[in-house]
Amino acid sequence: MLQHTFGGVNGPRSRAQRDVVLRVLADLPGPSTAHAIHHHALDTGVRIGLTTIYRHLASLVRAGTVAAMVDHAGLHLYYLRSGDEHSNTLMCTECGCGVPVNAAVVTHWAMRTAVDHGFSDLSLSIALTGVCSRCRSTEGR
């Protein structure tokens, strides 16, 4: 009575649209904005609203399935979390492609630094961008 019969007691209740978001995230090469996800979903023939994208992204981030970062322009980028806790992405500013990199060094440094200065509830966000070799070679075009 308190709780209807459904999968999880706390997680997101729906599945259909949430799985759309997850599938698109898996399709896209690197961290993507909510608008890019929306656009890609529409391109693949799925009818979904931008509001719903944002809602599920927030829920998935809370659940830990998706990670969020902020690029140097202040845009929020989202990507599926691989199993590796220290995974991060090196992104190309030209084509948007992403290369997963291991940032364990950085997270360790961050935790140590925080402890050293008496800080708690640490939150670290790294935005690492550049121009990939492919884009660099076609730059003058």
Partner DNA sequence: GTTGGTTTTGATAATCATTGTCGCTCAGGT
Partner DNA sequence: ACCTGAGCGACAATGATTATCAAAACCAAC
52 contributes a contact to DNA by CB under 7 A: yes
76 contributes a contact to DNA by CB under 7 A: yes
Interacting residues with a copy of itself between 1 and 30 (CB under 8 A): none
47 binds, among a copy of itself, DNA, none (CB under 5 to 8 A by kind): DNA
40 contributes a contact to DNA by CB under 7 A: no
Give the span between the Cα atoms of 118 and 129, in whole angstroms: 30
Asked whether 38 and 50 are in contact (CB, 8 A), the reply is yes
17 contributes a contact to DNA by CB under 7 A: yes
**If we measure between CA atoms, which residue out of 8, 59, 96 comes closest to residue 51?**
59
In DSSP notation, 31-68 reads -B-HHHHHHHHHHTT----HHHHHHHHHHHHHHTSEEE
Asked whether 69 and 125 are in contact (CB, 8 A), the reply is yes
Interacting residues with a copy of itself between 94 and 113 (CB under 8 A): 99, 101, 103, 105-106, 109-110, 113
82 contributes a contact to a copy of itself by CB under 8 A: no
Give the residues lining the site for a copy of itself (CB under 8 A): 70-76, 90, 92-93, 99, 101, 103, 105-106, 109-110, 113-114, 117-133, 136
